[in-house]
Amino acid sequence: MSEYDTLAARIRALCAGETDEVALMATVACELHHSDERFDWTGFYRVVAPELLKIGPYQGGHGCLVIPFARGVCGAAARTRAVQIVADVEAFPGHIACSSSTRSEIVLPVIGAGDRLIGVLDIDSDRPDAFDQADARALAAILEEVFHGI
């Protein structure tokens, strides 16, 4: 079993039967954040209005409070509904620097029932080039399992 398989099983057990989005986000953010030393900031941004994300449950230092879909890596993930893997945040046009320690980032859309965009999962690392497609696949599978019916 891979580390992601073990993590997914733990999240599955903790989230079983829960339908509250914020409770699920809080649990997933906590479990993810403490599972991998690459993860410097781990959290969710929730869709709260058309084209607008607001911070949700997270682990780590303070995050940005509000992010429009038109700005930053989180906005790009929400706008395109596609995973964003950024090896060097300094090279990403329009990157929003919520933390000066962030070197790389992965952001995944969180899709609920009826193809509804719930928000995005944002994981920042203080290491450059910390994330790859294997991370994207494993994290997407966890998000799908937790949020698909919500």
pLDDT in the model for residue 111: 98
pLDDT in the model for residue 144: 98
pLDDT in the model for residue 91: 87
Which stretches of the chain score pLDDT less than 50? none
pLDDT in the model for residue 90: 86
**Structural domain boundaries in the chain:** 3-147
Closest by Cα among 137, 140, 73, 80 to 107: 73
Please tell me the pTM assigned to this model. Answer: 0.96
Q: How far apart are CA 29 and CA 11, in angstroms?
A: 10
The CATH code for residues 3-147 is 3.30.450.40
pLDDT in the model for residue 97: 73
Burial class (CB in 10 A: 0-12, 13-18, 19+), 113: exposed
Closest by Cα among 68, 64, 43, 63 to 53: 68
